[in-house]
Structure 1
Amino acid sequence: MTETDTLRERVAVELTRARERTLTLADAVDDHDLVRQHSPLMSPLVWDVAHVGNQEELWLVRDVGRREPVRADIDTMYDAFQHPRADRPALPLLDPTEARAYIRTVRDKALDVLGAEPLAGRRLTTDGFVFGLIVQHEQQHDETMLATHQLRTGPAVLDAPPPPAPDVPVDDRAEVVVPAGAFTMGTSVEPWALDNERPGHTVDLPAYAIDAVPVTNRRYAEFVADGGYDEPRWWTADGWAHRREAGLTMPMHWHGDGTATRFGRRTDLPPDEPVLHVCWYEAAAFAAWAGRRLPTEAEWEKAARWDPATGRSRRYPWGDDDPTARHANLGQRHLRPARVGAYPLGVSPLGVHQLVGDVWEWTATEFTGYPGFTVFPYREYSEVFFDRGYRVLRGGSFGTDPVACRGTFRNWDWPVRRQIFAGFRTARDVA
């Protein structure tokens, strides 16, 4: 088997995995639930189903394959920049049967293109980049669909086994000191890395300390009990205004009695599980209350990737190998974060736990391009979001697929967002 054949096989496997997940999330509910909007923050699930197919058609069938359009008439309707999420239910969307038939037709054509494409000679297709782009795009929408499931009302329809428990308890107040010095941030060599992860560049940081684990429910409950939501001095001015306007008193889906609703079930909140469904303003307020701050994006990445023994940056905290179920809580294998310390094989060389998986982690950094950034393959993936107030999240969550999560991967959202699977850890300066 040639290298190209091996790459085609990998692409086909990843396309299939993504589609199976999309259909699992869609088939878990009836057509009524598929077409209705569960929150103005989210699209109807059926919109996401057709949208991933439309992107696949645009890039793989029409651009790479130069085939005739399947449904050129729906391009505008499934353009995320043309229609805000709150307005999408009013569009003449493909119904569930039509959406499934459409994505099935597109996939058949895309696989034909994959079989014929040399995967070389053009930047878009070299190393299968555009196929990886589509795989990651679908998996990102699958995580969005999973978040929509968390917001829907009615009986539970999703199930998964619990994540592993830690063999040895880990102190949720422990910290790790990262020594001063330079490291390589971002990447210029990861084949499927997206434009905002590029290029690799040197960043020199002073020494700092970072939490060894994400902030837990236990620690966050202390902030709530101490009146953290009633004391403006812990909050930024914008954060305090938002807290008052939105009436925030605790993380989203908490009930105030040690329980929370998860995918239609009311369950206990393990004290040593990472706190979930907090916005950037809440994370920053907790950090101020604790006498600390949120880490910068560069601090987060150095703690995750820098190997003090070699001085180089790894792909993941544990090394260069792709994630497995023993390294991190990824891929919707579980429907909740794991308790801290549950993945000892995923610890970074410095001793920082669970930097990948479980919860997206808010950072202090506003989303922008790296030095030397260039758009590829289109502005709307990253550049249009630069310098507009979005905050960077790193590390992925239990709902993030491994193909869409690596040590350089960057996510971003508005600082008010809580429906995403986000938590955080804190940091402090070291004199």
Structure 2
Amino acid sequence: MNSHQLSGLTAEGLRTFVAEQLTRSRARTVQLTDSVDTDDLVRQHSRLMSPLVWDYAHIGNQEELWLVRDVGGREPVRQDIDELYDAFKHARADRPALPLLGPDEARAYVSEVRDKVFDVLDHVRFDGRELVDNAFAFGMIVQHEQQHDETMLATHQLREGVPVLDAPPPPPGRRLPSAEVLVPGGEFLMGTSTEPWALDNERPAHPVRVAPYFIDTVPVTNGDYLAFVDAGGYDDERWWSPNGWAHRQKASLVAPRFWQQTPEGWFRTRFAHREALPLDEPVMHVCFYEAEAYAAWAGKRLPTEAEWEMAARFDLATGRTRRFPWGDENPGPQHANLGQRHLRPAPVGAYPAGASPLGVEQLVGDVWEWTSSDFTPYPDFRAWPYDEYSLVFFGPDYKVLRGGSFGADEIVARSTFRNWDYPIRRQIFAGFRCARDPRPEELG
């Protein structure tokens, strides 16, 4: 069963699907919070991130606001803490100073809310109101929890101490048939009007015309990026935009975050494990400006958001826009590296079954991919069900990332899903692939 098929379910089938997703998301949240001690739960590991215990209670508070109070019409559980867990009232850097719920109190609160949510789920009618059509409010909350789980996973990457998370390695990579793929361009349908749980900024579907372009078959690897570092790319202003160069100097950037150079070579730290830099994995923890500079050094550029989505979804043979690069079924372990299944990006070439019709690979999972596009609304955008999800972020301050990372869950890793962040951010699981304009002789 996948979320695209929700409209065909009976009410009982929908209840079962929602319950499964709520339970699966909560199991991940519990793993991420139970794996550390009380000190680690309440500590702020970086001013860029909240204490883990804030994320935990915030997940419960959003669930209470939308599902217990709004959908269920029930009495509040803890109305007195609403302001503490309002993400717009308190910056992340300030949250440790707030009178937050302690770990045990947070667990009890989140558990009580979930019990009430399951009772609401047992009795709700999935019609008569847009918020409950196809269980949208429940899907929104599941996605919210999974997004915070990825944020908490990023906090785990920033914490110091002994390793507490473990996972098996990803599948091996393979030699690629080509380094880049020609996308002939043309018109395709971008975004969605049919995904029941798609969020407002993904809507509506609308035709977009794209000129022909080349796009990398896979994301830029650590080995590729190391060549840029070794060539003095961080010291050469030619490759950097004015804003990028200013940030590189201000932040003293010399390599991706979590890389260390030693006499024995380059290493990286990954969830408290220090390991030799794996040259065949996608580069990660680079900001937009670093991605942009590498692309210029390589004689390329970053793809636009439309170019990325066309490469991921458009089937040239049928003229149809797919849900995913490989087709319409939800991601399986053969398609993509998602859900912190492996706790690292997979080597390039590891997912041939996940290729798009044109042969572009690893578009979903592994690393979020920076695009050159600002975060802006689609034509006929409608803010719903609240302005603070997308509307307040639109504009030139944020760049769009696409595709999902190894830490993103399949419930949010749609090919239409839009992530966004400041171009200086490096703590997120972000990499990139390059694009370029074809030369006249390459178009034949």
Equivalent residue, structure 1, for 2:340 = 332
Q: Deviations over 1:225-248 (max 9, x none)?
A: 000000011001111010001010
1:389 shift after superposition: 1.3
Which of residues 56, 66, 73 is equivalent to 1:66? Answer: 73
**One-letter code of the match for 1:123?**
E
Tell me how far apart the structure 2 counterparts of residues 229 and 180 of structure 1 sit (CA, whole Å): 33
1:39 shift after superposition: 0.1
Tell me how far apart the structure 2 counterparts of residues 27 and 109 of structure 1 sit (CA, whole Å): 23
Which of residues 164, 168, 177 is equivalent to 2:171? Answer: 164
1:4 shift after superposition: 1.1
SS at match of 1:389: strand
**One-letter code of the match for 2:407?**
G
Which of residues 398, 402, 405 is equivalent to 1:397? Answer: 405
Equivalent residue, structure 2, for 1:177 = 182
1:2 shift after superposition: 6.5
1:180 shift after superposition: 2.1
Tell me how far apart the structure 2 counterparts of residues 2 and 318 of structure 1 sit (CA, whole Å): 24
Unmatched 5+ residue regions in structure 2? 1-7
- Work out whether 1:95 is the aligned partner of 2:121: no
Equivalent residue, structure 1, for 2:359 = 351
- Work out whether 1:201 is the aligned partner of 2:209: no
Equivalent residue, structure 2, for 1:373 = 381
Q: How does 1:275-286 map to 2 (within 5 A)?
A: 275-286=283-294
Alignment length (residue pairs)? 429
Tell me how far apart the structure 2 counterparts of residues 213 and 361 of structure 1 sit (CA, whole Å): 11
Tell me how far apart the structure 1 counterparts of residues 276 and 431 of structure 2 sit (CA, whole Å): 18
**One-letter code of the match for 2:336?**
A
- Work out whether 1:384 is the aligned partner of 2:427: no
Equivalent residue, structure 1, for 2:135 = 128
Normalization by structure 2: what TM-score?
Answer: 0.96
- Work out whether 1:323 is the aligned partner of 2:328: no
Equivalent residue, structure 1, for 2:3 = none
Which of residues 422, 427, 444 is equivalent to 1:419? Answer: 427
Normalization by structure 1: what TM-score?
Answer: 0.98
**One-letter code of the match for 1:21?**
R
1:268 shift after superposition: 1.8
Q: Deviations over 1:130-165 (max 9, x none)?
A: 100000000000000000000000000000000010
Tell me how far apart the structure 2 counterparts of residues 427 and 83 of structure 1 sit (CA, whole Å): 39
Tell me how far apart the structure 1 counterparts of residues 316 and 93 of structure 2 sit (CA, whole Å): 47
Equivalent residue, structure 1, for 2:10 = 3
SS at match of 1:6: helix
**One-letter code of the match for 1:290?**
A
Tell me how far apart the structure 1 counterparts of residues 164 and 331 of structure 2 sit (CA, whole Å): 27
Which of residues 20, 23, 43 is equivalent to 2:50? Answer: 43
Equivalent residue, structure 1, for 2:5 = none
**One-letter code of the match for 1:32?**
D
Q: Deviations over 1:383-424 (max 9, x none)?
A: 000004100000000000000111100000000000000000
SS at match of 1:255: strand
Tell me how far apart the structure 2 counterparts of residues 353 and 268 of structure 1 sit (CA, whole Å): 25
Tell me how far apart the structure 1 counterparts of residues 301 and 330 of structure 2 sit (CA, whole Å): 31
Identity fraction in percent: 67
**One-letter code of the match for 1:221?**
L
Unmatched 5+ residue regions in structure 1? none
Equivalent residue, structure 2, for 1:144 = 151
Equivalent residue, structure 2, for 1:110 = 117
Q: Deviations over 1:118-140 (max 9, x none)?
A: 11111100001110000000000
Q: Deviations over 1:80-122 (max 9, x none)?
A: 0000000000000000000000000000001111111111111
Equivalent residue, structure 2, for 1:54 = 61
Which of residues 258, 266, 269 is equivalent to 1:253? Answer: 258
1:309 shift after superposition: 1.3
Q: Deviations over 1:186-220 (max 9, x none)?
A: 00000000000000000001100000000001110
- Work out whether 1:300 is the aligned partner of 2:308: yes
Equivalent residue, structure 2, for 1:224 = 229
**One-letter code of the match for 1:114?**
L
**One-letter code of the match for 1:170?**
L
Which of residues 229, 235, 240 is equivalent to 1:235? Answer: 240
Tell me how far apart the structure 2 counterparts of residues 170 and 278 of structure 1 sit (CA, whole Å): 24
Tell me how far apart the structure 1 counterparts of residues 335 and 185 of structure 2 sit (CA, whole Å): 27
Which of residues 10, 31, 34 is equivalent to 1:27? Answer: 34
- Work out whether 1:119 is the aligned partner of 2:142: no
Tell me how far apart the structure 1 counterparts of residues 29 and 126 of structure 2 sit (CA, whole Å): 26
Counterparts in 2 of 1:139 and 1:50: CA distance versus 1, 3 Å:
same
